[in-house]
Chain A
Amino acid sequence: MSPSAKDRLLLGVLRGCAALAGLLVVVIAAFLILESVPAFRNVGWTRFFSDPAWHPAPRAEAGQFQMLPMLAGTLAVMAGAVLLATPLGVLSAVFCRYYAPPALGNAYRRLIELLSGIPSVVYGFWGLVTLVPLINQVRPPGASLLAGVLVVAIMILPTVALMADGALAQVPQEYLRAAAALGLSRWTTVRAVVLPAAKYGLFTGVMLETGRAIGETMATLMVCGNIVRFPQSVFDPVRTLTANIALEMAYALGDHRSALFASGLLLLVLIVMLAGAAEWIGGEPARD
């Protein structure tokens, strides 16, 4: 083969790889839609929000398909975890760069990196054997929205902290020099100069953690109690959409199975909407 023919072959192969990788997300969406068609046809999407409860059955007429409590569970866990993890994560990054002596800051960053590599099933296991019994002592049953919020918050904290740390590192040194020359104190420098200058990076970090909180399966499955009900307090058990899929997929048939795919589609839509919103709000303006 001549060199140029080889080049053409190579380019073709590479294009194929990239196209396949790029199309994957479309294929996934297509499969979810395809598989949820029976549910949409036989159950109809309004019943997902108007049925009295979630008692799925392989035949649409025999079951009830109310998804709102689980959507509420997902959103409640997400909101709580994000509200907890965001300030902690940002302050962690501030600690690394502006408060800790350099050696301590580096060690702390190492710890956060380590936490970010621990799989969710381990967080879930720890929550199950440690946090749930503790909460149970305060208010039974223990497996609850609160447990889910705490475990997911600990899980997503490294995501925010590392993103925030990266964003703080990008803040131009000239701002710091200007702040120092004006005699601004450490906290004023952080609060009024560094954090505003890093806001796009921080925003991206929050969006990423929110996505992870929505999609988290194992941790919520293991500590939330998995009862399909609107939670009345943080001590009530909840079931998230992801946990529901993981619980029922193994035995679901017919329209039930299809409804699970529909709920997966709902998750995918949530994630894509989140990414869209992030882009729309936080599109970084061109720097001068």
Chain B
Amino acid sequence: MIDATTAFPPARGSSGERLATAAVWSSALLVVGVSVWMLGGLFWQGAGRINWAFLTTEPANAGRSGGIAPMLASTVLVLGVALAVSVPLGLGAAVLLAEFTDSGSVFGRLVRRSLDVLAGVPSVVFALFGNALFCQYLGLGYSILAGGLTLACMVLPVLIRATEEGFRAVPEDYRRAAAALGMSRTGTLWHVLLPAAAPGLAVGLVLGIGRVLGETAALLFTSGYVDRMPESLLDSGRTLSVHIYDLSMNVTGGDANACATAVVLVVLLLVVNAAAGWIARHWMRGKRISE
């Protein structure tokens, strides 16, 4: 790798060069400034309210006071439903795309293309679809099940992409070695490829979890607003992100708790993303064929 900072000195005494340097540094400063402003402000105002009671009690007074226990529970349940459906489906699709289709095949190209489009579909469109199919046609109503299923559709492209990458990172030697031993494809997949591709899978999983935790629009009219502790998957449940939205938009005086909830959510996501980054950097390293 070339270290550009030492390799390319700026031209001496050129005003254009100075202007460019100033522009680049000030953009970076601006971005850092806004991030600090935003995250700093959020933590500054919200972190103080977070304690054990906040995490374990029910909200009171429409959420202005009290805690977020039901939202945490709903979030976990929605996440569980979404992953339980999308992981097997995504894994299957990824295995097929990576291991059982050659790059030129029409079927593979079509599926990939359609997944690319799916990845760009706005979440509110997923919400419309989820509301129509799961809430109405399948009669699930506003429920955690409907919300989870909607989100399962949404995270599918992310999951498949990362998992496929994981399989592609497995050295060709493994497959040849397994074939030379006369292993069946099923056996190869189970015992050789799946373990070797696990990091990709994990990255996909973590990215998917991140998407689910942060999603709001797709849940507004699939899993709904109800802020009681859900008793079954058919109950409506309010996730953390919907809680933030509802408190800040529909409840006057709800900002403080909205802010605290936002801090909880951001911290959760930071942990999740750090995990993804960590897996990508450490676990994948050395598994890749030389780049």
Direct contact of A and B (CB under 8 A): yes
A residues bordering B, Cβ < 8 Å? 3-4, 6-7, 10-11, 13-28, 31-32, 34-35, 87-88, 91-92, 94-95, 97-102, 108, 111-115, 117-126, 128-130, 154, 157, 161, 173, 176-177, 179-180, 184-191, 208, 211, 214-218, 221-222, 242, 245-246, 249-250, 260-261, 264, 267-268, 271-272, 274-275
Residues in A with CB closer than 8 Å to B78 are: none
A245 with B128: CB separation less than 8 A: yes
Contact of B177 with A by CB under 8 A? no
Residues in B with CB closer than 8 Å to A191 are: 20
Residues in B with CB closer than 8 Å to A98 are: 4-5, 8, 24
Classify chain B: how many residues form its interface, as a range: 35 or more
Task: Known contacts A11-B100, A14-B95; decide if A275 and B241 are in contact (CB<8 Å).
Answer: no
Nearest opposing residue in chain A for B262, CB measure: A122
B184 with A3: CB separation less than 8 A: yes
Tell me the complex Cα distance, A242–B121, Å.
Answer: 12
B270 with A250: CB separation less than 8 A: no
Selected from A22, A28, A180, A245, the residue in CB contact (under 8 A) with B153 is A28
Tell me the complex Cα distance, A271–B117, Å.
Answer: 8
B21 with A99: CB separation less than 8 A: yes
Contact of B92 with A by CB under 8 A? yes
Tell me the complex Cα distance, A118–B1, Å.
Answer: 31
A245 with B124: CB separation less than 8 A: yes
Selected from A113, A185, A242, the residue in CB contact (under 8 A) with B17 is A185
Within 8 A of A (CB), among B266-283: 266, 269-270, 272-273, 277
Residues in B with CB closer than 8 Å to A221 are: 217, 245, 249
Tell me the complex Cα distance, A126–B42, Å.
Answer: 8
Nearest opposing residue in chain A for B29, CB measure: A95
Tell me the complex Cα distance, A160–B259, Å.
Answer: 27
Tell me the complex Cα distance, A101–B37, Å.
Answer: 24
Tell me the complex Cα distance, A11–B118, Å.
Answer: 24
B124 with A242: CB separation less than 8 A: yes
Contact of B223 with A by CB under 8 A? no
Residues in B with CB closer than 8 Å to A4 are: 184
Nearest opposing residue in chain A for B221, CB measure: A249
- Given contacts A185-B11, A217-B122, list 20 more A-B pairs with CB under 8 A: A16-B92, A18-B93, A18-B96, A25-B114, A26-B114, A28-B126, A31-B132, A100-B5, A108-B28, A117-B269, A117-B272, A121-B216, A121-B241, A125-B245, A126-B42, A218-B217, A246-B220, A249-B128, A250-B221, A275-B117
Residues in A with CB closer than 8 Å to B215 are: 119
Residues in B with CB closer than 8 Å to A154 are: 34, 38
Contact of B111 with A by CB under 8 A? yes
B97 with A18: CB separation less than 8 A: yes
Residues in B with CB closer than 8 Å to A189 are: 4, 8
Tell me the complex Cα distance, A27–B88, Å.
Answer: 19
Tell me the complex Cα distance, A87–B242, Å.
Answer: 32
Tell me the complex Cα distance, A268–B120, Å.
Answer: 9
B residues bordering A, Cβ < 8 Å? 1-5, 7-11, 14, 16-17, 20-21, 23-25, 27-28, 30-32, 34-35, 37-38, 41-42, 88-93, 95-97, 100, 107, 110-111, 114-118, 120-129, 131-133, 153, 156, 160, 184-187, 189, 210, 213-217, 220-221, 241-242, 244-245, 248-249, 255, 258-259, 262, 265-266, 269-270, 272-273, 277
B153 with A19: CB separation less than 8 A: no
> Which one of B116, B118, B270 has the greatest number of beta carbons of chain A within 10 Å?
B118
B125 with A14: CB separation less than 8 A: no
> Which one of A113, A185, A267 has the greatest number of beta carbons of chain B within 10 Å?
A185
Task: Known contacts A21-B160, A31-B133; decide if A264 and B128 are in contact (CB<8 Å).
Answer: yes
Residues in B with CB closer than 8 Å to A249 are: 127-128, 131, 220-221
B5 with A102: CB separation less than 8 A: yes
Nearest opposing residue in chain A for B18, CB measure: A187
Nearest opposing residue in chain B for A127, CB measure: B38
Task: Known contacts A11-B100, A13-B92, A185-B17; decide if A117 and B125 are in contact (CB<8 Å).
Answer: no
Can you name 19 A-B pairs with beta carbons within 8 Å? A11-B96, A21-B93, A22-B111, A25-B121, A28-B153, A31-B129, A95-B28, A113-B273, A114-B35, A117-B214, A120-B214, A120-B217, A186-B8, A186-B11, A189-B8, A215-B121, A245-B124, A245-B128, A275-B120
A21 with B259: CB separation less than 8 A: no
A25 with B128: CB separation less than 8 A: no
